[in-house]
Structure 1
Amino acid sequence: MLSEVKLVTLGVSDLERALSFYSQALGYRLQARGDIPAELAALWRFDPALRGRWAVIAADDSGLGRIRLLQFDAPGQRLWHAGNLYNGSGYYALNFRCRDALATMQAVTAAGGSSAHEPSYWEVSEQVAVRDSINDDPDGIRLDVFSYERGGELRGALETEVSVVQTIAIATRDVARSVAFYQALGFETLFDRVLDFPELQALLGTDRPVKIHNVNLIKDGHIVPGRVEMFAYLEMEHLPDAPLRDAAVPPNIGILSASLRSDDLDADVARVLTLGGQLIAQQVVELPGVGRCAVASAFGPDGEQLELFQPQ
């Protein structure tokens, strides 16, 4: 059975700037770095003639919710922009818990990122309420930071100022299909709501009032980090689909993949394919930040790339 999301991969334009930003803004520390080998080209979908560098950063030494940064020697394009905001599909944002959302937002902007507004208050459920701020790193990669106003004890203690990656958000045009896929991989619904409140436009930084369907899934009902979240803008059915699948490749800039550990790679690949996923490549490689692994990359239901790895 597959794990929760252990690691997310981001394409960045300047590796050193990204390392500095995530250190200053979120307190993430460098764990390992190196050159990107050409043997990963099929798995990661890049031209093997390109050269690049990678670095893995983390909030702690737990091995949970880490970030892998990639920079290539060719310019890339940002995955998300005004033209696909409401009808794009694919990885959209990373979500982090912090002690103080306002202080973290201020750290993000001081380190070279940006934020459209101070944290908004919203009630996730009767038991949980948060202060939430949507921010961008220097490459425009969306970072959602939140702190609990109520109900934090339900998710356990926070050991660092900013957590490991809690959630990777996926924009979808078909929430039910996406949810069913991840439930079949062992994720369970944490909450499922239609969000429609006055502060939502300010929270999301949209240019119009919006309503979204939002579902948050937790692994095996209890593993707090490494969750997946699906959301769709409602009442946008008139817009054509704009999947990021073919654009979410190096050297482009944004969230490129999510990595899950497998105990039986062949069985898990078969399961993903049975559920409608598509295999990209499978091979044994030295996986940056992980070590020698059997690795399979595959598309999920929204064209998002999954990296499944089994240490050797």
Structure 2
Amino acid sequence: MIKGIHHVTLVVCDLDAAQRYYGAIAGMKPLPGAGAAALAVVDRQIGGMGFDHCLLAGRNGYLLLVAPHWTAGAPAPVANPINRPGIRHFCVQNHDVAPLATAVAAQGGSLIAAPLDLGTGNQYAYARDPEDNIMEIEGLPYAPVGEPTWLAHVALVTRDMDAAVTFYSALFATEPNSRGRFGPGPQLDRMGGLVDAQLEGAWLPAGNLQLELWQFHTPTSPTEPARHPFDSGYGRLCLESDDLDADAARLVALGGALLTESLESDRLRAILGSDPEGNLIEIVELRTAGAALAIAALADPDICARVEAGR
């Protein structure tokens, strides 16, 4: 059974700068010890080059930063549009979006547009880090004042919403708690830096976080080549499981694919696969020696559900 979204990987050029950026804005801290090394088992197996890494722990989720040792030099950052297919961003929330926006600027990032209201009463903005990777920042007026920043969701852009909802609902053994169509409208265009944006969204509970799915009807998502784990930007979604073999088999039965055999260490077992569109999914089962890396070991894994219950 999938227990939740353990982490997303983010491939960067400057590991120290990325650590400072996400630490300052998302309140994430490097996990001491050998945690990052344990969770980099997939990268060691198929990366094809050396790399440095850092595992950042938030209140209810992790971010694995990976800095490859590119033999021909690091590629130049690319400002990908928000409708590019694949993992597009993760989102952090707070009662007040203003300190998050201030921290983005202080750390050398930028906003696509100033925080704005899309009609929900919340404040939203997309932030680009110095390497142009996107993180969403949100202010929720109903959240408790003074509640430290937490992670809310990971967003994935799909070309087929119905198929994606069917796949991930079955994989997570859940159902969407919300789904709808949005746009066109000036606020939506301003937030995403697009023109005449019309899209469909769905939100699936996934334990500690939500999975946010988007399909862009206009402008449609550009065609993408198959992704390598060390391509710049968001690399893969990592799911924590209590039964790796059963969840890997379910992923295949639902139309996904396995790309490696089971990879093992003293702390965990892991396997790399993909969803039917080719988005990379890692499934990890932690052993007793890896219990300190579990979602349950984080400071507040239930914060999303608690904040929403207090609306």
Task: Indicate the TM-score class for this superposition, using the shorter chain for normalisation.
Answer: 0.7 to 0.9
For 2:295, the equivalent position in structure 1 comes to: none
* Divergent runs of 4+, >4 A: 33-39, 77-80, 157-160
Q: Percent identity?
A: 21
For 1:229, the equivalent position in structure 2 comes to: 212
Classify the secondary structure of the residue corresponding to 2:19. helix
Q: Distance in 1 between matches of 2:282 and 2:78?
A: 19
For 2:290, the equivalent position in structure 1 comes to: none
Structure-2 change in CA distance of 1:199 and 1:33 (3 Å): farther
For 1:46, the equivalent position in structure 2 comes to: 47
For 1:168, the equivalent position in structure 2 comes to: 154
For 1:102, the equivalent position in structure 2 comes to: 98
Equivalent pair of 2:176/2:205 in contact (CA under 8 Å): yes
Equivalent pair of 1:243/1:303 in contact (CA under 8 Å): no
Equivalent pair of 1:56/1:66 in contact (CA under 8 Å): yes
Structure-2 change in CA distance of 1:140 and 1:158 (3 Å): farther
Structure-2 change in CA distance of 1:253 and 1:139 (3 Å): same
The alignment status of 1:310 with 2:285, answered yes or no, reads: yes
Structure-2 change in CA distance of 1:40 and 1:141 (3 Å): same
Equivalent pair of 2:43/2:229 in contact (CA under 8 Å): no
For 2:163, the equivalent position in structure 1 comes to: 177
Q: Distance in 2 between matches of 1:46 and 1:146?
A: 34
Question: What is the RMSD computed on CA atoms of the aligned residues?
Answer: 2.4
For 1:262, the equivalent position in structure 2 comes to: 241
Equivalent pair of 1:32/1:55 in contact (CA under 8 Å): no
2:63 pairs with one of 67, 70, 73:
67
2:190 pairs with one of 202, 216, 225:
202
2:259 pairs with one of 247, 257, 280:
280
Q: Distance in 1 between matches of 2:119 and 2:248?
A: 38
Q: Distance in 1 between matches of 2:256 and 2:160?
A: 15
1:132 pairs with one of 117, 124, 137:
124
Q: Distance in 1 between matches of 2:65 and 2:153?
A: 17
Equivalent pair of 2:12/2:233 in contact (CA under 8 Å): yes
Structure-2 change in CA distance of 1:275 and 1:2 (3 Å): same
For 1:21, the equivalent position in structure 2 comes to: 21
Equivalent pair of 1:132/1:144 in contact (CA under 8 Å): yes
- How many residues align structurally? 280
* Distance apart, 1:77 and its partner CA: 5.7
* Distance apart, 1:33 and its partner CA: 6.4
